[in-house]
Structure 1
Amino acid sequence: MLVVDKPQGWTSHDVVAKARGLAGTRKVGHAGTLDPMATGVLVLGVGRATRLLTYVVGADKEYTATIRLGVATTTDDAEGEETTRADASGVTAAALATGVAALTGPINQVPSAVSAIKVDGQRAYARVRAGEDVELAARPVTIGRFEVHEVRPGTLEDGTVVQDVDVTVVCSSGTYIRALARDLGRDLGVGGHLTALRRTRVGGYGIDGARDLDALDAWPADVPLDTLPLADAARATFPVRELTADEARALSFGQRIPAGGTGPVVVAALSPAGELVALLEDRGPHARPVLVFAAA
């Protein structure tokens, strides 16, 4: 695995293409797309680690963001065209707290129309750019934390008063922070959009362990890329089960072993030498391998 601090202006695909060149393989994937405007944690899988990405995608995520109250846009972020402006000077701290509380916990969220969700086989953003009106269905997401840190009033060139709200959001997979900004502004009656977004964590992978692309770009061509070993990557994502040598051998052949008592939870099974052997899931009295990494 390779955890990258994606710079602003890069697409997630741009980062994958860069990593393919650095790693010398086309077998590179990513978990959880970031918009070009956003920065922060992008988890890449290289080689066999791409098989772990399915599970990383579903992990919870943490963001820091700035929401501008008083302006709505076509994309719900700063890259879109303005659709409305409204004086946000009347939004009180109490009203803001009420609006944030209403968007915390389990909610039904309508994703931004300009998103990568497919509608009849075509990305929603492609349909919008083609001039279509796209209405996406609401989907259940969970906002575990929606915390306001600072509110900074400002005035636009036409005299419209806006409020820039700095927040931290912890949410389930599939949550759109742009849509959260849109809905907060809508509920407060002034409109809103996202002006800055930084992802600080994906599951167990934090920004502190992310690599800067400039540093990777300077990596010597004759030195293997310093990636996160499979076992360490698995420890950051799954509960761990330590195996005996006999259990590790059986799993390497795809055989079941006695259940570990974890229930229907995927766990990382590590050999006595600390290597990732397989991902396991208890099924009744046995644990069966979901993915096997160790060769028989």
Structure 2
Amino acid sequence: MNGLLLIDKPAGISSFDVVRQVRRVGRTRKVGHTGTLDPLATGLLPIVVGSCTKLARFLTLDTKEYDFEMEFGRETTTGDAEGETSKESGWEHVTEDALAQVLGQFRGPIEQVPPIYSAIKINGERAYKLARDGQEVEMKARPVMIESLVLESCSLPRARLHTRCGSGTYVRSLARDIARALDSAAYTTLIRRTRVGDFDLSEATPLAEITPENFAGLLRSPMEMMRGMTTFVADEAQVRAIGYGQQIDAVGLAAEKDAFVAIADAADELVAMAQVKAISDDTGAPRLKPVRVLKPQ
């Protein structure tokens, strides 16, 4: 079985816990996820099965959307309700207008320091493991993109927001930094992922409802997994060439250098993922180099 499974993850379990459950229900070892969702967070978690595990990295690059709730007054060691209080600060001076205004500082490209309790590797070890072992962990700021950030409701000391952000963004850090910009402190009380790339939470199935009987029927095809991505339909000769790892000229395709392209055959089945390496001098078309070949030739 190969395909994409859209799961609505419940709170209280890790993304790898979900992978383990899917392996058991689907009776297959080849299962992975396309991006960690915090244990206390809920919402959309795309799971890849079979040969589609080769495609996971292409979905990790997708933008994501979250609903989240933050509570002013304190920071925690984890950035959410699970951690211990690490800092307390007054919030009475914070107003809804001030909160709405400060959000402008966090739209667009920003620098963000990830939380210590995260899956980021430091010298080969996960940061959260080092933190749990009592080691001092220094997290470095990283560039992230916040495409949109909207205040949806406010009943201080709590506020509810929605964000659309690029890969690598930590909502827990975003809430922390928003509060600091208001000379206060905050942690997240709720995080729910509502969208990953072209996939919406409304399409997902709650983890508890996935069974051995309905498992195969819930899998989306490799081609559907790449929906929203630039696609090129290759002819038979090109499909054979791709199977041998050869580059092809995608005549008629509009794509920039270094862009990823999904290559389909005449039956609309996904053959490979490719990258534009150059523009052909002979045809003026993008030259595609296969980076992941799925369909055996």
TM-score exceeds 0.5: yes
Equivalent residue, structure 2, for 1:66: 69
Residue 85 of structure 2 corresponds to residue 82 of structure 1? yes
State how many pairs are aligned.
284
Equivalent residue, structure 1, for 2:105: 102
Q: Which of residues 116, 120, 126 in structure 2 aligns to 1:123?
A: 126
Q: Which of residues 226, 232, 242 in structure 2 aligns to 1:234?
A: 226
* CA–CA distance in structure 2, aligned partners of residues 85 and 203 of structure 1: 36
54-63 or 82-91, which deviates more: 82-91
Residue 60 of structure 2 corresponds to residue 57 of structure 1? yes
SS at match of 1:235: coil
* CA–CA distance in structure 1, aligned partners of residues 241 and 210 of structure 2: 39
Q: Which runs of 5+ in 2 are unaligned?
A: 281-286
Equivalent residue, structure 2, for 1:30: 33
| 1:53 Cα deviation from its structure 2 partner | 0.3
Equivalent residue, structure 2, for 1:220: 213
51-60 or 277-286, which deviates more: 277-286
SS at match of 2:226: helix
**Aligned structure 1 segments of 4 or more residues deviating by more than 4 angstroms:** none
User: Identity over aligned residues, as a percent?
Assistant: 38
Q: Residues 264-286 of structure 1: CA distance to partner in whole angstroms, max 9, x if unpaired?
A: 21111111111001112222213
Equivalent residue, structure 1, for 2:255: 262
Q: Residues 45-93 of structure 1: CA distance to partner in whole angstroms, max 9, x if unpaired?
A: 1010001101111211110000111221111111111233333222123
* CA–CA distance in structure 2, aligned partners of residues 182 and 224 of structure 1: 41
SS at match of 2:32: strand
Equivalent residue, structure 2, for 1:15: 18
Matched to 1:287, the amino acid is L
| 1:123 Cα deviation from its structure 2 partner | 1.6
74-83 or 281-290, which deviates more: 281-290
The answer to whether the 8 Å contact 1:66/1:196 transfers is yes
Q: Which runs of 5+ in 1 are unaligned?
A: 154-162
* CA–CA distance in structure 1, aligned partners of residues 177 and 213 of structure 2: 47
Equivalent residue, structure 2, for 1:245: 236
TM-score (norm. length: structure 1): 0.91
Residue 293 of structure 2 corresponds to residue 292 of structure 1? yes
| 1:188 Cα deviation from its structure 2 partner | 0.9
SS at match of 2:25: helix
* CA–CA distance in structure 1, aligned partners of residues 243 and 125 of structure 2: 40
| 1:226 Cα deviation from its structure 2 partner | 2.8
Matched to 2:107, the amino acid is T
* CA–CA distance in structure 2, aligned partners of residues 267 and 42 of structure 1: 23
The answer to whether the 8 Å contact 1:107/1:143 transfers is yes
Q: Which of residues 188, 193, 196 in structure 2 aligns to 1:202?
A: 196
> Structure 1 residues 283 and 261 mapped into 2: Cα distance closer, same or farther (>3 Å)?
farther
* CA–CA distance in structure 1, aligned partners of residues 262 and 121 of structure 2: 32
| 1:243 Cα deviation from its structure 2 partner | 2.3
The answer to whether the 8 Å contact 1:263/1:283 transfers is no
Matched to 2:58, the amino acid is Y
The answer to whether the 8 Å contact 1:261/1:282 transfers is no
Equivalent residue, structure 2, for 1:159: none
Matched to 1:43, the amino acid is P
| 1:104 Cα deviation from its structure 2 partner | 1.3
TM-score (norm. length: structure 2): 0.91
| 1:225 Cα deviation from its structure 2 partner | 4.9
Q: Residues 106-158 of structure 1: CA distance to partner in whole angstroms, max 9, x if unpaired?
A: 111010011111222222112222222212110000111110010013xxxxx
The answer to whether the 8 Å contact 1:23/1:225 transfers is no
Q: Which of residues 154, 163, 169 in structure 1 aligns to 2:163?
A: 169
208-217 or 100-109, which deviates more: 208-217
Q: CA RMSD in A?
A: 1.6
Residue 51 of structure 2 corresponds to residue 48 of structure 1? yes
Residue 275 of structure 2 corresponds to residue 281 of structure 1? yes
SS at match of 2:56: helix
